[in-house]
Amino acid sequence: MGSLVCKRKQIANQTSLEVNTRHSQSDSVHLPVANSPLIIAVSDFPSRYREPVLRMGEQLNLLSEEGEWCQVKSVATGKECCVPSNNIAKISHRWLYEGIDRAKAEELLLLPANQEGSFIIRKRQAKKGCYSLSIRCTNHESWNCVKHYRINCLENNWLYISPSLTFPSLHELVDYYSESSDGLCCCLKKPCFIQGASSSLFHNLPKPVEVKRSALNWQQIKSSDLLSEEPLIEDSPISLGLREAVTTYLYMTDDLSLQGTPKRKRRQTKDI
């Protein structure tokens, strides 16, 4: 078990982890996004006019929302207009987008300003609380495409792309896959850049807020809690990912030990 942890430490830049689980000594809780995300136009509006009222990349103030329409005001020009909700995106942490679908994510990532490794994490509109990761990758010298990965959410709000590797927050997920592709088409390099937007807008966005818990004390954790199938209590220091990792590890090591141990002959007992 120690050798597996050692490998994960090297990949995750000396962050303390347990077997195949993003379980650090100071655990972080996945929190909702900031209350005031950046509002950006993701397309010209109206698109059929030569001189649109709003241009792609323009920063907006959201005045009101009603159904599929939003009343917005341009920060640059002061113009107000009513636009379809799919013409704007709410952006947090430079890479978390709300209000765009898969097709729009592909369109933005394939803009000339982006390159291999540019990425977007978007809130999935069909399933609340879940996300999708979209990455621009290059399969050939002249062929760019976008790969999509589903980010699932466990009952304790931990997140994962691969079930064997879980994270307490989107921020830690991004940090990890920025260092190692680990099954993705490539490493995450830069958040998607929207043509027409000022780069300073995205750099000024705050990073995710993290709440630190007390350090995990393994001496106080019972093995029965790790191997139990009962639901976890709200304040449990044990995650579902940790349970799964420990169970998988014990299963694998048990199989290896059985394969490497010669079969013993049963001792014959005498009948009395």
pLDDT given for residue 119 in this prediction: 97
| pLDDT reading at 36 higher than 90 | no
The domain 38-92 is placed in CATH, from the list 2.30.30.40, 3.40.50.150, 3.30.470.20, 3.40.50.300, at: 2.30.30.40
Position with higher pLDDT, 135 vs 234: 135
**CA distances from residue 233 to 31, 147, 155, 224, 255 in whole angstroms, order as listed:** 18, 36, 11, 14, 31
How is the chain split among helix, strand and coil, in percent rounded to 5?
Answer: 25, 25, 50
Give the pair of three-digit tokens for residue 213: 């818990």
Q: How confident is residue 14, by pLDDT bands cut at 50, 70 and 90?
A: very low
Give the pair of three-digit tokens for residue 97: 């987008």
pLDDT per position as a tens digit, 108-144? 999 999 999 999 999 987 777 789 999 999 876 657 8
Give the pair of three-digit tokens for residue 158: 């931990």
Separation between Cα atoms, residue 144 and residue 1, nearest integer Å: 40
Domain 96-191 carries which CATH code?
3.30.505.10
What average pLDDT does range 232-253 have in this prediction?
65
Domain boundaries, the chain: 38-92, 96-191
Give alpha helix (H) positions in the chain: 2-11, 102-109, 170-179, 199-203, 223-227, 240-260
Position with higher pLDDT, 122 vs 200: 122
Q: How confident is residue 49, by pLDDT bands cut at 50, 70 and 90?
A: low
| pLDDT reading at 54 higher than 80 | yes
